[in-house]
Amino acid sequence: MTFSGDVLLHMPVNDRAALYGGEVGEPFDFRPMFDPMRPVVEAADLALCHMEVPTAPDGRLTSYPSFGAPGQVMDGLAHAGYDGCSTASNHSLDRGYPGVVRTLEELDRVGLGHSGTARGPWETGPRVYSLRAGTSTVEVAHLSYAYGFNGYRLPADAPWAANQIDPDRIRADAAAARAAGAELVVVSLHWGTEYQHQPDAFQRSTAEAILPGSEIDLVIGHHAHVVQPIEMVHGRYVVWGLGNQLSNQTQAPRRDGLTVTATASQGWDGRWRVTGVEAIPTWVDPGSFRVLPVVATLSDPATPVGLQQELRASYHRTAEVVSSPATPGVTVTPLP
C-alpha cells in the first residue's frame, strides 16, 4: 500500500498546468507533474494520495488562503495510478459545501475512491478497497479526519460534510469497519504543526488515544508541509507526516516529500498486519512542478549535474528526519 503527501495547488502550479494543457489542447494538464511517480504508484496494490484542497465548484480558481482547484488535477492523479485519496483537511470547507460536492464528483469522474468528506450521511463511513492477495481478497478500509477547518464551520444542514479528529469517533469508526469485514484499517490524519519536523503534542496525544487496543493497523499523517519521522506507537506504524507531494512552497524542506510503501502480511493466526514501511523520498522540481522520485531520478544518467546536487541534498534532509529515531522495519530507499 502506497501513500503520498499533500496535493496543494497554489496558483503558480495551476498556471504551469495551463501551459501543459495548451500543448495538448486542454485547459489544464497535471499529468506531466505526476508522470515521474507512475512507476512507484502503479507498483502498489493500493495507492492513496491526499487531496488537500477542494475543486472550485463554479470554475473560479482560488489559492491561499482559501483554495479552489481545477478539476483536471484528478486526471493527473488517476494518470499516476492512484486508486483514491483522503480528502479531510483544514481546507476541506474553503469553498463551502458546494466545493465538497464538486471535489467528490471530480474524483468519481476519474474513478478514484475518497474518504474524509461527504455529500450525505451515507458517505461518511470508510472507503473500502478490495485487493487481490494470491487467490484471496483482502478488504482494506480507509478513514480520513482533519484537526479543523481554518475557522470555517460545518454547515448546519450538512454536519457530515467533513470529518474532524475525535479519538472516540475514530476508534468507533475503525471498530465498525473491522466488524463489517475489513482486514486492514488505515487512518489518514491531517494534523501537526506546519513546518515542524517533529510531531507535536496533539499528534502524540491523538495517536496515544486511538491506537491502544483499537482496530487500526496504520496511521498516515499530513499537513505539516515538511517530512516528519515514522515511529511505532503501541505496535502500529505511525507515519507522522509525509510533507508535500505537489505545491509551490519554495523553501528547500517544503519541496522535499515522502511517499511510503507499507507492506502487510498475513500472520499464522490469519490476521493481516503491517510488517514494514519503505520511505521513498520525493522532490518538487521548481518551474516544471514535476514530482520526482529522488533515487530513481538520480539513477538516470541523463539527470543534469545541478539537479543531481539538489536531489542529493533533498535525500539527505529527508533520510535524516525519517531515520531519527530509527524504527524497526522502516527503511529509506538507498541511494544508487
pLDDT at residue number 133: 81
Judge whether 149 and 92 are in contact, CB under 8 Å. yes
Residue 230's CB is within 10 A of a number of other CB atoms, namely 27
pLDDT digit string, tens, across residues 186-208: 999 999 999 999 999 999 999 99
Q: What is the mean pLDDT of the chain?
A: 97
Question: What percentage of residues in the chain have a pLDDT greater than 70?
Answer: 100
For residue 214, the model assigns a pLDDT of: 74
Neighbours of 92 (CB within 10 A): 30
Q: Domain tally for the chain? A: 1
Query: Can you tell me the distance from the alpha carbon of 17 to that of 68, in angstroms, rounded to the nearest whole number?
Result: 15
The pLDDT value given to residue 236: 97
Q: pLDDT tens digit string along 244-258?
A: 999 999 999 999 999
Domain, as residue range, for 119 = 2-332
**CA-closest candidate to residue 186, choices 85, 287, 318:** 85
Quick one: pLDDT at residue 135? Answer: 81
CATH number at residue 11: 3.60.21.10
Question: How far apart are the C-alpha atoms of 185 and 216, rounded to whole Å?
Answer: 5
In this prediction, residue 38 carries a pLDDT of 98
Whether residue 242 contacts residue 227, with contact meaning beta carbons closer than 8 Å, is answered with: yes
Contacts of 182 (CB under 8 A, 6+ apart): 126, 128, 139, 140, 141
Q: Which residues pair with 274 in a beta bridge?
A: 264
- Can you read off the three cell numbers belonging to residue 307? 539537479
Q: Is 285 exposed, middle or buried (0-12, 13-18, 19+ CB in 10 A)?
A: middle
Residue ranges of the chain with per-residue pLDDT less than 70: none
